[in-house]
Structure 1
């Protein structure tokens, strides 16, 4: 083995989680049940969590960041602020009057502090790098509805995109979604952006599952191209509605045979699984919201949503977030009415705005994407504060993912997911200097030992290398 690689493996091993993930096995009843009617074998139920998180925070030290400009994610800006965190939690956020006794003090003068950046729409691990067919695991494009699949069962934890997202973009949490080939693509999973041997070791504890849906061109192109239904937008809605009706019947039938897909849909109907719907056109978003009311679920966020600016009032009234790009435009017909002012117009309307990536590259610069959307609004005469714009990539994302009570803002009692930037985070010239997750220093641009590197960034060993 290459000597360099041996050293790196040793370093990564020292850095990795100590625990090995276990997912449990089938329960055996019967022998100890005392009942002849009890089943001999039984799988874990949904409520028992068959694929539990085994995430455990890395060790950290009590830390005080002092003298920096602090954006708390909730719309506030503090000049010369102080952020205190200990035992994985934020203890206090305020001015220079906060006592730092008992903390390791870091001088942030001239720098900026934000909550950890959150990407609500990522495919890292399911479409990892290197981007080869053998790694293409995001779309189960075998049927128009596949609510039975779970994105976490495709996530490859060694994807170098995870460490690049942290080092370049300050990403501390992200939602991994199935692709958009299907009307119902399956469950998403929310991850903490930490090194782990297993996806369970990255799984955000307490985060609700999401459910990926898609409307518009993708499903009708994929299945219409095979001569199957749906091949039109009306076919999309017909298949969706019938699938929901079948799920309602299942949810109301106490004697129904267990069905993995309908079990997921039942979780959506019960409000325990959050719907994230890929949808571009305003008219379709309005129809989807009506369909949701018809069958009894709620859309949490429309993703991509390039025409959301046309129905900002409807989105606000229905409490639906828009997870959008800053300026992606024209790459297919339903993206032709995209405008750079989308986010600003939604903000002006009082609707929920989230900037997302859908890209292994854009996830490394969500701060810059948010700044581009802010600048487009300013050119239109819509002034949006820097503090509110930071919320587009922190607290608003957390709200739409159902984790805002745990992360997304710098508030006492929340997870100490924190980024120290070497300059204004809304500047193209700024980068993360340090990143903490649950109070543990996971990246430090000034310390090579805290700059994770993947084997795939080192290249293949050559003949002249020491084996």
Structure 2
């Protein structure tokens, strides 16, 4: 196989950047890690930002990610951080200056529900590592241990969708599916080299049809919704007991399954709960109160519009599709106005993908929801709708202090769009992660290419 000159340069650039970035596992000479607990990572992030240069993008329309809009604005970032945002931002000496006339700047998109790396492309049986379906309670497994960093979906999400961070979850076959992991969307040879530094752990839970179908079909519990809830409650009772034992006796043998759940009870691990129906979401919020934990977000949540006031009062986010509907019974009451209705009720609103193709078009998914709301008489400004893609998912993942908006001091995760980002004709022109230019539509060497894609048709000109 022979690569053309452009593909060869891309490989060299990526390998050089990877060496400079040092997104690798720490050497054996590193200090020994402290004993792992629910709040301490046994597989810590080795993420190091790629090198960037001071950059000013000016003459653009800015959505700041928190609901603000600036016309003819400028964004300055340096040393991996946002430095200034406004209409009169001066470039320091030696900075790269980009004239963005007619273009838009936003924070990078954050996808709170992805399976990239765990269900990578191509979708073949050998790659199906996102679901441990050997039992309804599998809280001991971690999604990050299935992440394949060379999944071509990562670069496609960056290049086509402006996604700078994503949350990879286990699948939804189980009541307790395991831990999720938040990643920066950068090229790295190891999972640790992508892990978002300091991001909290999450726990994937599921209610509804999936667990009762998977395990009831094997003639085992749960086979009904009442059994779903009974097993969830019994499992939390076991976790409470384990937590008490550990508090009384530090030499209590570790139980990795219960350790994760104890971390939730301690507030260190955030619950991300697959749930469609409004009645089940209400029940799960009651269960959370019974056992003293909190649901960060319900995912898919096609009936959130029915209980938006309860979600607001309980401080629970809804991560939703724009228009997936009717593909199974619990999705049958899904409506296209779900997202704007939830937003209009004052509840935390997020647009998510759950799909390797949808993650490349989350801006368009948000645009569809925005249009559906306006047809229903709900006038939500574009800049407010962008919170569904940036600060709201950041809050639900516990990373809003670091990213999710163009606030000075935050990570410079920035996208320059070649037009209004809510238009189907608009694409990312440049994408920066931590202020490093990871993609430039005008420079073929700035397109990340996975090992898998090299040599494929259109990605290397095989001869």
Alignment of structure 1 residues 130-145 onto 2, 5 Å: 130-145=122-137
Q: Is the 8 A contact 1:23 1:50 kept in 2?
A: no
Q: Secondary structure at the match of 2:307?
A: helix
What secondary structure, in the 3-state scheme, does the structure 2 residue paired with 1:457 have?
coil
For 2:115, which of 118, 123, 141 is the aligned residue? Answer: 123
Moved more, 439-448 or 46-55: 46-55
Taking structure 2 as the reference length, what is the TM-score of the superposition? 0.94
CA distance in 2, matches of 1:247, 1:379: 47
For residues 214 and 79 of structure 1, the distance between their equivalents in structure 2, rounded to whole angstroms, comes to: 43
Counterpart CA distance in 2 for 1:108 and 1:186 is 43
- CA-atom RMSD in angstroms: 2.1
Q: What are the within-5 Å matches in structure 2 for residues 200-279 of structure 1?
A: 200-254=192-246, 255=249, 256-279=252-275
Query: Contact conserved, 2:118 with 2:148, CA < 8 A, in 1?
Result: yes
Counterpart of 1:360 in structure 2 is: 356
1:300 and 2:296 correspond: yes
Q: Tell me if structure 2 keeps the 8 A contact 1:17–1:196.
A: no
Q: What residue in structure 2 maps to residue 100 of structure 1? A: 91
Q: Which one is further off, 178-187 or 45-54?
A: 45-54
SS of the aligned residue for 1:456 comes to coil
Per-residue CA deviation, residues 378-403 of structure 1 (Å, 9 max, x unaligned), is 00000001011111001111011100
Distance in 1 (CA, whole Å) between partners of 2:23 and 2:433 is 20
| Equivalent residue, structure 2, for 1:439 | 435
CA contact (8 A) 1:330 1:338 kept: yes
Change (3 A) 1:98 1:361: same
Partner in structure 1 of residue 305 of structure 2 = 309
Cα distance in structure 2, aligned partners of 1:371 and 1:278: 23
Which position in structure 2 is the counterpart of 1:416? 412
Asked whether the 8 Å contact 1:220–1:231 carries over to 2, the reply is yes
What SS does structure 1 have at the residue aligned with 2:187?
A: coil
Scaled by the length of structure 1, what TM-score is found?
0.93
Question: Any residues of structure 2 matched to 1:364-403 within 5 Å, and which?
Answer: 364-403=360-399
Q: 3-state DSSP class of the match of 1:16?
A: helix
Q: How does 1:25-40 map to 2 (within 5 A)?
A: none
**How many Å separate the matches in 1 of 2:40 and 2:175?**
28
Residue 335 (1) aligns with residue 336 (2)? no
CA separation of 1:100/1:24 partners in 2, compared to 1, >3 Å: closer, same or farther?
closer
Could you say if the C-alpha distance between residues 23 and 266 of structure 1 is closer, same or farther in structure 2, counting changes exceeding 3 Å? farther
Q: Which residue of 2 aligns with 1:38?
A: none
User: Distance between the aligned counterparts of 1:239 and 1:209, measured in 2?
Assistant: 23
Q: Structure 1 residue 101: deviation in Å?
A: 3.0
List alignment gaps of at least 5 residues for structure 1.
30-41
Q: Which residue of 2 aligns with 1:149?
A: 141
Change (3 A) 1:213 1:48: closer
Mark the runs of 5 or more structure 2 residues left unpaired by the alignment: none
Q: Deviations over 1:276-331 (max 9, x none)?
A: 00000000000000000001100000000000000000000000000000000000
Partner of 1:21: 24
CA displacement 1:15-64 (0-9 Å, x = unmatched)? 32443633688x999xxxxxxxxxxxx95444542100000000000001
Task: Compare 1-10 and 194-203 and name the one that shifted more.
Answer: 1-10
Alignment partner, residue 61 of structure 1: 53
Asked if 2 retains the 8 angstrom alpha-carbon contact of 1:147 and 1:261, the reply is yes
Partner SS, residue 253 of structure 1: helix
SS of the equivalent of 1:128 reads coil
CA contact (8 A) 1:434 1:441 kept: yes
Shift of 1:267: 0.6
Offset at 1:457? Answer: 3.3
What displacement does 1:453 show? Answer: 2.3
Measured in 1, the distance between the counterparts of 2:343 and 2:234 equals: 35
Kept in 1: contact 2:23–2:194 (CA 8 A): no
